[in-house]
Amino acid sequence: MQKRGKCTRVLLLAGYLLLASVSLGGITAEAIGFQSSTFANKETIQSSKKQIPDQRTSDVGIPTRVSTQTFPFYVALQNEHTVLLWDASKQGSQPIPIATDGKVQIVDWSATKEWIAYLQSPDPKSYSGPWYLWVSKADGSKKYQVDQREITGTPKWSPTENMLAYQTRDNSKEEGIVARITPKGVERVQSIFQQNEVNEVSDYSWYPDGKSLAVSFPQTKTENLHINQVFLDGTSRTLYRQMTSTVEGIYARDATGLVWSPNGAYLAYFEKPNSASLSADGVPIKVLQIHSQKTFQIGVGLAYPEWLTWSKDSTRLAFINGVDRMATYGKKLGIWETLNKQVYNKGQTDKVDSLPAFGSKADAPLLFLRGQEAPWPTQMENRPLVPGQRIWQLDQADQAKAITAGSSATADSSYSLAPTGRQVAYVRLQTPTNGSLFVKDLSTGKDHELLKGVTLSSGYYGSYLPSWIQIAWKREA
């Protein structure tokens, strides 16, 4: 029955792509063989958590420091009910809890690395909230509730300063707000959209200069799917409007997971249909060229914005292709080049890829996770979901090699590259959810174990998203 259901979903997905008249122009022959998957919407995520164990853990202890060596970064980490902060640069320091009630989810560090944002729900058993937005200083000395109203979606930090964009809910009305975080408190900057029954918003994302945001609106009976650029002075312009206007059957409804190229010339996104089930198993990955308003479909895949990353010079977009909601198999690294608009398959047979990330330097290599493909377990076992998963590097010559090493009894996950590219921090898992925080010196090849007892959530079918650990490098290391 499970196999039959899977086949039905794949057939429905293929039908959606045909109905949408998807153009595969610009995709090389080797890339056409890619399969696809997609990010589940709220309905799908809540449903999945009732059906399968997602390897979340509660009632776990605080991680303990096991090394006297110091490193120049802050760490925000969590379990289901606690957010902890740790200053790895201080001798003798230990993780300190800053939130201990209800249920929590770390969001991210601010651009200046001064503040960590996180969501907190007073209900310790609910995955659907209500969620409220908080920020804390990196040393835990100050924290504020940003807004008294319920928060929907994922708040996003400005790429240039301590400003947050977030979406509030008050009864049936929702509002997008930009607020500045200061040592004295929260200052409201601008309302970027109002949402109600007839005016919905799909997603939003900061422009690279921090002066505006892309805001996407869904296909409705009265409006075509479109993306606007909304400036902090309240003005806006249309970046893209889809020409088709159907709202019957299966159709492209939302543009989500918006990720700008650093030069602002391109916007990558996922085109999701009006079906939660189809969206959970594969959606088109598209790129909008801003000046021409032309879109390119580069593949299909799970709609995690963390699986889209641009090179510093905006010439390459790395992404993960592959259908089926399980993240433990069928997912391959792809590269789209802006110069020739071609896609190149960088995957390997029997290997599964995830979490690509270009470094912050212009000549930085591409890092990603790669391990042995593994079927989704019918019963959770006390071993990593992707045995032997390591951090890999794709250099400027397109040569791939592993930069971490270990046995198949462990798996590396949730990494962060230092700004200079000389060190990488990562979690090494011994089970699906438990492990240690390491730092690898890429010049000497030496690994340092820093914290034991680190907990991750395996997320939605092994995606490990949203992440339960966020690292902020203080200075170049």
H-assigned helices in 246-370 = 276-279
Domain shared by 283 and 373, yes or no: no
Domain shared by 323 and 237, yes or no: no
pLDDT digit string, tens, across residues 297-307: 999 999 999 99
Q: Would you say residue 85 lies in a domain?
A: no
Q: Tell whether the torsion through CA atoms of 155, 159, 162 and 163 is positive or negative.
A: negative
First-to-last alpha carbon distance for the chain, in angstroms, is: 53
Domain shared by 331 and 280, yes or no: no
pLDDT digit string, tens, across residues 346-380: 999 999 999 999 998 888 899 999 999 999 998 77
| pLDDT classification of 32: cutoffs 50, 70, 90 | very low
Q: Which helix (H) or strand (E) holds 447?
A: strand 447-455
228: CATH = 2.120.10.30
Predicted model pTM: 0.89
Q: Would you say residue 428 lies in a domain?
A: yes
- Domain ends where: 272, 303, 334? 303
Q: Which helix (H) or strand (E) holds 455?
A: strand 447-455
- Domain ends where: 286, 303, 320? 303
Produce one character per residue of 280-299: b if its CB has 16 or more CB atoms within 10 Å, e if not.
Answer: bbbbbbbbbbbeeeebbbbb
- Domain ends where: 269, 303, 337? 303
Domain shared by 342 and 441, yes or no: yes
Domain shared by 440 and 370, yes or no: yes
**Residue 167 pLDDT greater than 50, yes or no:** yes
Domain shared by 320 and 407, yes or no: yes
Domain shared by 234 and 358, yes or no: no
Domain shared by 331 and 297, yes or no: no
Total number of domains in the chain: 2
| pLDDT score of 44 | 36
| pLDDT score of 363 | 83
Domain shared by 297 and 379, yes or no: no
Instruction: Give the DSSP per-residue string, 101-146.
Output: SSEEEEEEE-TTSSEEEEEEES-TT-SS--BEEEEEETTSS-EEES
Q: Would you say residue 395 lies in a domain?
A: yes
| pLDDT classification of 113: cutoffs 50, 70, 90 | very high
Domain shared by 277 and 313, yes or no: no
Provide the domain limits for residue 398.
Answer: 309-457
